Structure 1
Amino acid sequence: MTQTQTPARVLVLGGTRWLGRRIALGHVDRGAEVTCLARGEGGSVPEGARLLAGDRATEGAYAGLDGDWDEVIDVTRLPRHAAGALDALADRAAHWTFVSSVSAQRLEGAPIGADEHDELVPEDASGDEYGGAKAWIERVARERLGERLAIVRPGLIGGPGDESGRFGYWVSRLALAKDGPVLMPARDQATQTIDVRDLTTFLVADAPRRNGVVNAVGVERRLHALIELAREIAGHTGALVRASDEQLGSLGIGHWAGERALPLTLPAEVASHAQRSSARYLAAGGAHRPLRDTLEAVLRDERALGLDRASPHRLSRADELAAIHSLPSKA
């Protein structure tokens, strides 16, 4: 533990978009004086927070930040941004929370139930490799801040406000299809998603009182069970058309994310990436809300954004139907 009181003066490096904005709002709601350092082009800061417009890629980006900070939160994936912030602010921060990622840990070869001690991927100071960049930032921040640092590694984040649509794909696709067919993988597999609201609560209420590393991952669930619950919520009455990994591969349909991908799916050889332990997160004060709550909130968002909107993170309905029609009738 590094401090016991609620932070009074908080700096969010970002704060105008999804997770960063929710973090800023969470601290505002707890009565903190909140400043967000951001370019201000991706959105607005929440009411009650102050925006200091600045580009972290430029010299002097931190010049307008005066005084000391009870809590600094950085969500960056870019090593040069993290290094610049540490140079400018480390000596003026009572506590620092870096939002890393479980992608900083190895993808292949991880045991089922791997925890915070599992191996990290090779570091990448260039920022080209997402996981490697997060691993580099973790080490540099730890060297600079020591016991004043909490590292929180989320898994896949879902919930209201997620414009990527990765987690929202299944419930929105089932709602869009109505009584039409929906393509799904024949192989059941593990999946883990943490609701952004649960993650935000942990980052605001619990992380500032801690040091060390916490993997903030969701409950391990089976994808087929998630799809069945999403189907109920969406009111889907059509067929679920199952395709093997081999069939999906022959159709050019991949895993996880991409214009021709089925979100939340993983290749069999790296399935344990979605089977990580959440024990430390729960012991540290974290929580998991019911999956139904998350799916219902996400469906409301998806309807507002447009169920059939184009997305670079998921298979389009037209491509899905073409794939279904090309499968053998008994697939």
Structure 2
Amino acid sequence: MTDERHDATDHDHDHLDGHPDDDRDAPEPVTVLGLGPMGTALAGAFLDAGHPTTVWNRSPAKADPLVERGARRAGTAAEAVAASQLVIVCVIDYDAVHAIADSAADALAGRTLVSLTADTPGRAREMAAWAAERRVGYLDGSIMTPTTTIGGPDAVILFSGAEALYERHAAALAALGGRRVHLGADPGRAAAYDVALLDMFWTAVSGIAHGFALAAAEGVSATDLAPFAKGLHELLPWTIDEFARNVDSGHHPDPVSSLRSITAGMEHVVHATRARGLDDGAIGAATALARRGVDAGYGADSMSRLTELLVRTAGSPVSG
């Protein structure tokens, strides 16, 4: 980012918000729309960092604890938006974001809207287009850690959208703590990271639930199995790094175990699952995908080849 770009952006926003230069060192006022557990945590972090914080929620009583800590309660979303140049919205999905933003569209003009609402990359891009049509600055973000981390060193939050806009509000966003990463101008990129990482996480967690069920069906307690299950985490960092290298290079050598041998092992799990009358939907689907790879002639390759197979079937190229 050049100095000219940064200066021009600051000048534009100074014109919009009317704040004189000597106010820039003061904590930036922030508005938080949506006070579920995460929205409440976000507002609390801004308050703790000394930011004048205005809050709004469809159910006003949810703001009570924050008001006791010094937040200002707004009667409407539009009133809340009017209180700050930086507006954070964190609600259940983008249907809720649109309902709130539509009701406050006039007040949002000339301000920055940061959505920390989880949804799809496509919906994030649609929201960015909505904002651009109404002269609203827009950043999209994905929170990758629990509410208890917000404001502390363990928080991880990903942002995407215009870099100049992100830099302008970086000092205020620092109140959210931990690691904050700007991923680029594409407003859907943070959500893309989010859905991909959640895909990995929830698939793994559902596997844990299924594995405990299979163990129980064989008379093995979850407590007895747990120490061995924890040992699996030592394999994951290596597997992730290997897959990432292979997927990005397009080469899928098999240094340890081939897709063919892995598929055979997965089929054993499916047979054991069915023998005990358990649902085999998740492991069955995973095994069917692996079998497709073998049948396509990739049996000697790494299991990372399945990423390429999935993308090719969907008709879109693998991109980094």
- Structure with the higher fraction of residues in strand conformation: 1
TM range (shorter): 0.3 to 0.5
Higher helix share: 2
Higher relative contact order (CA 8 A, sep 6+): 1
Q: Mark the structure with the bigger radius of gyration.
A: 2
TM-score, normalised with respect to structure 2: 0.42
